[in-house]
Chain A
Amino acid sequence: MPSFFSNRRLIVLLVSTIVMVMVVGVTLKERPQPTWGEQFIRDTFGFFQSLAYKPARQVAGFFETINEWRTLYSENQRLKANLQENAKLMARIRELELENESLKEMLEVESNLSEYTLQAAEVISRSPDRWYQQVTINRGAKHGVEANMAVITTEGLIGRVKSVSQFTSQVELLSDVNRTIHISAIVQGQEHIFGVIEGYDLERGALLFQKVPKDTPLEEGQTVITSGMGGIIPRGLYIGKIIEVVPDQYDLTQSALVEPAANLYHLDYVFVVERSSLPPVDIPVSAEDKEGTE
């Protein structure tokens, strides 16, 4: 066996360690636009990945369908019951929307925090090591995707665009612990409760909704949506429901565990959310309202 650490090898090992530390340090920061080399490699592999992913998903889908046949009848009954409820709700929503629009016209509000357009995209791969919780989608800079845009499924918010190549982009899922960007969110109760989603509890599988004043009434089962205050994410995207309320470490604020509504494991089709009206102009608020809230 050759000797492990001759002088020359030791030096090579040291130098390569230093080089690694340097490269890691340089690439550790947020990089919405990777270098052209990385973009090229990601796009090329993205093409082959999309070729491999589709048939595999169809095979998996076939087995799932067989599995689902057993529960079909009871599910059908339940869905029929839901449908009636839905029709009622839809009528009510339509009514409220019309009312909302006419009221806004009266107030001459131009910008709307919750307006957005959706762009459909397909998931073409997922990082196999679960250290990075991220997926790759087949839409990139050429299709108008930009960094930090929200990504949703029909069930709810799943994450944000982390870095954009020409034809693919990487989406960071909500379950990534190392989220540097916090999501400003609202709890829908009697009145809106504002807070920040920062971090993810791996063991519970839930998001941490934090910085909520201590005396606000947080309850289990309340709905959490995005607030649209952070800039690029529009208002009103569904995040999930509160599953537990816990007091903060120092008992000054309280925080809640929010279970994401979207299934972060079964991802095939997603939507990139493009906000239609960017910087929010100041919405006219009367002096009374300003004093009233708080």
Chain B
Amino acid sequence: MTRFLFILTIFTLLIFEGTVVQVFTAGWWDLHLTMVPRFVVVMLIFAALFLGRVQGLFMGLIFGLFYDIIYGSVVGIYAFTMAIIGYFTGLVFRIFQQNIFLIWLTVLLALVAFEFMVYGLMTLVNVTALDLHIFFFDKLLPTLVLNMIFALLVSYPARNILIQMRDEEQQI
């Protein structure tokens, strides 16, 4: 039950990223600063931190696939990167989840790695031709600010829900 609600939340966030958030960010920042909402990725990192690498891998694969199909046209880029992020954050799950600051640090590092991987792949397949320094200052930094605020806001509720979820599943 908790798992179902959690997954439903992620899907709602997936829809919100492209609709509600766009209404409030699209017109204000012209081309120069782009804040990309990565709420789904933030939730995925939380999930991987508390549920382990295998679940992180599969959740990343599935949500990435949905992201690819709905918001992109090339299938595979987000599925691959999200799966990798889910797997590698899942590797540190026993160590880092004790301390909330370490969780935030993990989210930050994973987001940076994720953005760079997506940027690299998008450049590789010629979807974009953005310079590295423009990407770094105009896109990566605003994106990190937006998503770290989101991560701070949801970290406590997400931790409680995920710990409850893990306990429920261990009982069964």
Residues of chain A touching chain B, judged by Cβ–Cβ distance below 8 Å, are: 1-2, 4, 16-17, 20, 23-24, 27-28, 31, 34, 38, 41-42, 45, 48-49, 52-53, 56-57, 59-60, 124-132, 134, 136, 162-163, 170, 175, 177-178, 202-203, 205, 263, 265-266
Q: What is the minimal beta-carbon distance from B42 to any residue of chain A, in angstroms?
A: 13
Cβ of B74: which chain A residues have Cβ within 8 Å of it?
Answer: 24, 27-28
Query: B75 interface residue, CB < 8 Å from A?
Result: yes
Given contacts A41-B66, A60-B24, A266-B27, contact A24 B37 (CB under 8 A): no
Minimum CB–CB distance from B79 to chain A (whole Å) comes to 7
Given A20-B80, A60-B23, A177–B128 Cβ distance below 8 Å?
yes
Residues B15 and A1 in contact, CB atoms below 8 Å apart: no
Given A27-B73, A27-B74, A130-B34, also A266-B26 (CB < 8 A): yes
Q: Which residues from chain B contact A202 at a C-beta distance below 8 Å? A: 31, 129-130, 134
- In the assembled complex, which residues on chain B have CB atoms less than 8 Å from the CB atom of A2? 91
Does B165 lie at the interface of the complex (its beta carbon under 8 Å from any beta carbon of A)? no
A125 (CB) vs chain B CBs: closest residue? B18
| Contact indicator A205/B31 (Cβ below 8 Å) | yes
Interface residues of chain A: helix, strand, loop or mixed (majority): mixed
Residues of B near A52 (CB, < 8 A) are: 15-16, 19-20
Given the complex of chains A and B, what is the CA–CA distance between A134 and B71 in angstroms?
A: 8
**For residue B10, which residues in chain A have a CB less than 8 angstroms away from its CB?**
none
- State A209–B67 Cα separation when bound (angstroms): 33
A24-B19 contact given A45-B70, A126-B26, A130-B36, CB 8 Å threshold: no
The residue in chain A whose Cβ has the minimal distance to the Cβ of B78 is: A129
Among A124, A128, A162, the residue within 8 A (CB) of B71 is A128
B128, A20: Cβ atoms closer than 8 Å: no
Q: Which residues of B contact A124 (CB under 8 A)?
A: 19
- Residues 108-124 of chain B: 1 if any A CB is under 8 Å from the residue's CB, otherwise 0? 00000000001001100
Q: Which of A134, A178, A263 contacts B126 (CB 8 A)?
A: A178
Return the 3 tightest CB-CB contacts between A and B, nearest first: A125-B18, A23-B76, A53-B19
Contact A129 B76 (CB under 8 A): no
**Which of the residues A41, A57, A128, A178 comes within 8 Å of B128, measured between beta carbons?**
A178
Select from chain A the residue with minimum beta-carbon distance to B77: A24
**Assuming A2-B91, A49-B15, A52-B16, is B23 touching A128 (CB within 8 A)?**
no
Given contacts A31-B73, A125-B70, A131-B127, 20 further A-B contacts (CB under 8 A): A1-B91, A24-B74, A24-B125, A28-B74, A41-B69, A41-B70, A49-B15, A52-B15, A56-B23, A57-B23, A125-B22, A127-B71, A128-B22, A128-B36, A128-B37, A136-B18, A178-B127, A202-B31, A203-B134, A205-B30
